[in-house]
Amino acid sequence: MATTYFSLGGDDASQRFFTKSKLPLSWPSLPVILPHRLRRKFRSTRSRIRSRQTPTSSISSLNTSSNPADTIRALRTHHWSFYDAQYLFLAVLGIFSLCVIQSPGPMMKTLVATLLMTGLVIPITRQFLLPFLPIASWLILFYACQFVSSEYRPGIWVRVLPALENILYGANLSNILSAHKSTALDVLAWLPYGIFHYGAPFVVGIILFVFGPPGTVPCFGRAFGYANMTGVLIQLCFPCSPP
């Protein structure tokens, strides 16, 4: 960091100096705790923003190859890290979900798994399926939860959430809110969860693709998938009835 000194005059012994720090114009170095792949993507996105490359111009850089040998070659030269352990977790979760699901039958489940594996092998579809894997795993897990036997499900806790409300807020907010009924407010609260909840992720994805930096949509897809997957796993392992 560059430093400039300013003198106010006077004797050399009693001369006073003030410093004015100049912030560096370049981006600071990324923390070491970030994985190498995230730092590499961040630098790539930063360079594209500096070069004034439009987000939609990344369409021309999409991989259009349909040769599975390119995928095998990319796997051989890939530098594996802890970041790649997410795919092992998704594979275990997918196998568990397919084993639990009773309908559709084995033939349909085998067909779906075969199509997914084929799409991951072909480069032109792999670049879209990899960011979509967390969302697909969440949807399959959400559908498979209904087939989990009640013998393996823990009991539903009905007093945990009201007790947490009393501890955190000092009152049972659910009873307070339910005491004042309003049809207009009920409809207003139902719209985001009942209608917008299903289409909003696609709208946000389109907006991020058009106006966001390159690489934003895959990050959003992974974050969206893992967040919803975490909610399903918590509800499956620690089910609580709403207050």
Phi and psi at residue 18, in whole multiples of 5°? Answer: -120, 145
Closest to 210 measured CA to CA, from 58, 50, 55: 55
Cα 129 to Cα 71: distance, rounded to the nearest angstrom:
13
DSSP designation for 157 = B
- At residue 230, the pLDDT reads 93
Q: In residues, how long is the chain? A: 243
Report the pLDDT averaged over residues 19-41. Answer: 54
Query: Looking at the predicted structure, is the pLDDT value of residue 242 above 50?
Result: yes
Cα 88 to Cα 191: distance, rounded to the nearest angstrom:
37
- At residue 13, the pLDDT reads 46
pLDDT digits 0-9 by tens, 101-151: 988 888 999 998 899 989 888 888 888 888 889 999 999 999 999 898 888
- At residue 14, the pLDDT reads 46
Burial 216-240 (b: 16+ CB within 10 A, else e): bbbbbbbebbbebbeebeeebeeee
Question: What count of Cα atoms within 13 Å lies in the side-chain half-sphere of residue 149?
Answer: 3
Query: Looking at the predicted structure, is the pLDDT value of residue 16 above 50?
Result: no
- At residue 194, the pLDDT reads 77
Query: Looking at the predicted structure, is the pLDDT value of residue 208 above 90?
Result: no
Give the pTM: 0.68
Output 100 or 19, whichever has higher pLDDT. 100
Indicate the domain borders of the chain: 63-76+83-237
Query: Looking at the predicted structure, is the pLDDT value of residue 229 above 90?
Result: yes
- At residue 39, the pLDDT reads 63
pLDDT digits 0-9 by tens, 210-220: 777 777 888 89
SS3 20: strand
Closest to 232 measured CA to CA, from 96, 83, 105, 82: 96
Cα 160 to Cα 167: distance, rounded to the nearest angstrom:
10
